[in-house]
Amino acid sequence: MLIVLAKAKVGAGAMAAAAAAIANMVAASNAEEGCIAYAFTQDMLEPGVIHIVEKWTDEAALAAHFATPHMAAFGAAIAGLDFTVVEAMKYHADDGAPVM
């Protein structure tokens, strides 16, 4: 399994402008074959920061994700906005286990 953790900085007003594109991206990504989970979250302590958390079955699923029409549409939607991904890392993991 792959876990992708990304962080984006979003300027004032850009969050509202990107909201529909984010909603579409999350819904379409979660429907992809090989996607275990896909979410955008706003940081509670740092305004203007979004965390993107993704879980994929394997490298092929992640590569296919980058080639989807909804990924291209999302990129086009945020191109003119103050929306910058400042970090994106992928990690290889096992299937995990409950903490408690």
- Tens of pLDDT along 80-99? 999 999 999 999 999 999 99
Considering only the top CATH level, what class is 2-92? alpha beta
Segments making up each domain of the chain, as ranges: 2-92
Summarised one tens digit per residue, pLDDT across range 40-81 is 999 999 999 999 999 999 999 999 999 999 999 999 999 999
What tokens appear for 4 in the block?
């992708």
Residue 82 is inside which H or E element, if any? none
Which pTM does this prediction carry?
A: 0.92
